[in-house]
Amino acid sequence: MERTLLMLKPGVLQRRLAGDIIKRIESKGLKLVAMKMKQLDRETVRAHYAEHVEKDWFHYLEDFSLKGPVVLMIGEGKNAVVIMRKLAGATYVADMEPGTIRGDFALGTTTPDNCLHASDSVESAEREIALFFTEEEICPWTDPLEGWM
């Protein structure tokens, strides 16, 4: 089974959207095997978004990531990374389609904020999961519905 890191970004808790977003992830068939809430620090944000640190817009992403606590999760399932990226939708507001998590829950029409991070590759997922979770925090479980999915 494949795993992907999911992060409900700052603002999701304040807007009381965590349950709605988690329900959509679970309804799609992904299994949550880890979850915790955390206030990120600059060092962690920079490690998580290492490939973007030199981009001119990174300071905005960094500041946004520090605005409040995040909810970190690991989703597991067949093709979890690709499935979750499609469910999440486009990164930028102008490209977000209705029916996707980002398209339905984005706040505003011009800011680059979005409510959810989802790993963009299996390799990224492995790196990101290791950044936020220890093996002891991951709780694999057998899903009796697996034969149906």
Question: Is residue 30 a part of any domain in this protein?
Answer: yes
Residue 89, φ and ψ in degrees, nearest 5: 95, -175
Top pLDDT among 34 and 1 is at: 34
Question: Is residue 94 a part of any domain in this protein?
Answer: yes
CATH number for the domain including 118?
3.30.70.141
Question: Is residue 143 a part of any domain in this protein?
Answer: no
7-60 tens-digit pLDDT = 999 989 989 999 999 999 999 999 999 999 999 999 999 999 999 999 998 998
Enter the pTM of the model.
Answer: 0.92
| Catalytic residue set | 117
Domain that holds residue 45: 2-138
Question: Is residue 149 a part of any domain in this protein?
Answer: no
Cα 45 from Cα 61, distance rounded (Å): 9
> Which of 53-57, 78-82, 124-128 has the weakest average pLDDT?
53-57
Query: Rounded to whole angstroms, what are the CA distances from 20 to 15, 27, 91, 105, 112?
Result: 11, 10, 19, 10, 21
What is the distance, to the nearest Å, from the Cα of residue 149 to the centroid of all Cα atoms in its chain? Answer: 22
Question: Is residue 18 a part of any domain in this protein?
Answer: yes
Question: Is residue 148 a part of any domain in this protein?
Answer: no
Number of domains the chain is built from:
1
Instruction: Give the count of alpha carbons within 13 A of 44, CB side only.
Output: 15
